[in-house]
Amino acid sequence: MGFTEIRFPAIISSLWLLLSGRNRALKSFIEQVREFPVQISFHHCSSSPRVLSSRVSRIPLLFPDDRCHGAIVGLIGRLNFVLFSVISAGAERGSPEHVGAHLQLQARLQPPPAAGRDVQPGPGGVPRPEGAGQRHPVDGVISFDVIIDRSTNLLSRVYRPAPAGPDASLAAPAAFLAEIDRPLSAAPVSVIVFFHGGSFAHSSSNSAIYDSLCRRFVSMCGAVVVSVSYRRSPEFRFPCAYDDGWAALKWASTRPWLRSGRDSKVRIFLAGDSSGGNIAHNVALRAVESGIEISGNILLNPMFGGEGRKESELMLDGKYFVTLQDRDWYWRAFLPRALTATTLPATPSVPTALVVVAGFDLIRDWQLAYADGLKKAGQSVKLLHLMQATIGFYLLPNNNHFFEVMEEIRTFLSSDC
């Protein structure tokens, strides 16, 4: 047996910030960690997470020498995965502010319902939504929910930079709504229509990991984001997610308050991770057929598949969070029974694409084949293949890959400005 020590203070500091004062959650986390095939011991442990956060900077790991590299990478990935789970389960931002924002903005951003609880008669009989808008920025970003299609309960969460000025966040509701109604900017601004991951079956735009990611798209990449809560399988199979994505694109492309630049156009990029990347691809196909202009696709670890097994599927089965059995179930839950095989999609005729691939993703080879197909079809494609990355690395800013991808996205968006 060999002995090695690894430092990852970003993971530890993030964890203690999340679990500060929550001893039950801390105990649950440690119990999960103890089940990993690597022995872990915490030094200087205290009953107070606040004390622990300042003292725990090292985690000794004990494992066979010949498996050193794989164990290190696997451990970091697994800790991140547990952290994602803690965030998703305990910190979803379905706050009263968001509900109030939806009620306030619904009548302004699209025609209000003829009757219902959402609105009350205001001065002159003009409908006046109940509640208060989310006027206080989070991380310098304001957000609000808008129902796109009431018949399917299709919801989007919109993220924009907070209004400028020292008192902007405390403005009266009328001033806040007036700010939202204006076109984005005289300078070009990219609009990301984002589809969250979850293998078509779980997560939403309300999940904290995706709420945070969309805010970072705004603050770090200079974009405005429309995050789509599409219907999920197995209750809603193919093509429901694609239909919702298409409806969201059509809706966003016609919003006057998403226009920017001297030409006053909506500069739309489609983006998504995992199943969301698959949705972005298929929505792009419909956009090409219908004539809606798409500036580009941003696909983060897109969920693609096909007949047979790729080498990466056989090599990485069960090693980094996902098994082939898991992946096959998700496909069966999404696809109709008549479609028993998942098929690598045809390449869309979009102007350009950014494809991000994690080296330890089970379906890595399908993603690489997709990017290669784009190149062979004569499409402009930027492939970012991060050999040492695990799935979901872009969800937390505790690794160098995260910042590399954010810079790539920022550069990619600016190509249309």
Residue 125 has pLDDT above 50, yes or no: no
Q: Which residues pair with 142 in a beta bridge?
A: 160
Averaged pLDDT of the chain? 73
How high is the pLDDT of residue 139? 85
Question: Does the model's pTM come out above 0.85?
Answer: no
The stretch 114-128 carries a mean pLDDT of 32
Angle made by CA atoms 210, 69, 318, in degrees to the nearest 5? 55
Which pLDDT belongs to residue 336?
83
Rounded CA-CA distance 170/149 in Å is 31
Considering 87-101, 170-184, 239-253, the range whose residues carry the highest mean pLDDT is 239-253
> Would the pLDDT of 16 be above 50?
no
Is 13 an active-site residue? no
* CATH code for the domain defined by 96-111+125-414: 3.40.50.1820
**What pLDDT is stored for residue 83 in this prediction?**
53
Q: Span 64-80, mean pLDDT?
A: 46
Task: Give 167 or 383, the one with higher predicted confidence.
Answer: 383
Residue 7 pLDDT exceeds 60: no
pLDDT at 227 over 80: yes
List the catalytic residue out of 274, 275, 295, 312.
274
Count CB-CB contacts under 10 A for residue 307.
9
**pLDDT confidence of residue 287:** 95
Number of Cβ atoms within 10 Å of the Cβ of 103: 21
- Predicted local confidence at residue 339, as pLDDT: 58
Residue 205 has pLDDT above 50, yes or no: yes
* CB hemisphere CA count around 220 (13 angstroms): 16
Q: Helix, strand, or coil here: 95?
A: coil
State the average pLDDT over residues 201-223.
96
CA 185 remoteness from chain centre: 25
Q: What is the largest CA-CA distance in the chain?
A: 80
Both structure tokens of 286: 């419909």
Q: Give the torsion sign (CA, 248, 108, 225, 410).
A: positive
* Predicted pLDDT of residue 20: 41
Does pLDDT of 181 surpass 70? Answer: no
Report the pLDDT averaged over residues 210-234. 97
Is the model's pLDDT at 206 over the cut of 80? yes
Q: In the predicted model, what is the mean pLDDT of residues 387-409?
A: 95
Distance CA 385, CA 152 (A): 37
Cβ atoms within 10 Å, residue 395: 24
168: DSSP letter: G
Query: Is residue 113 pLDDT above 90, yes or no?
Result: no
Who has greater pLDDT, 89 or 192? 192
- Please say if the pLDDT value at position 46 is more than 50: no
Q: Residue 23: its pLDDT value, please?
A: 45
What's the CA gap between 56 and 41, in Å, rounded?
A: 11
Residue that wins the pLDDT comparison between 255 and 40: 255
Residues ≥6 apart with Cβ < 8 Å to 242? 279, 282, 283, 286
* pLDDT higher than threshold 80 for residue 68: no
Range picked from 94-103, 127-136, 280-289 for highest mean pLDDT: 280-289
Confidence of residue 24 (pLDDT cuts 50, 70, 90): very low
Q: Is the pLDDT of residue 358 over 70?
A: yes
Tokens of 408: 């790539």
Residue 415 and residue 352 in contact, taking contact as beta carbons nearer than 8 Å:
yes
Domains of the chain by residue range: 2-90, 96-111+125-414
pLDDT digits (tens, 9 = 90+) for 286-300: 999 999 999 999 999
- Mind spelling out the 3-state secondary structure of 17-70? HHHCCCHHHHHHHHHHHHCCCCEECCCCCCCCHHHHHHHCCCEEEEECHHHHHH
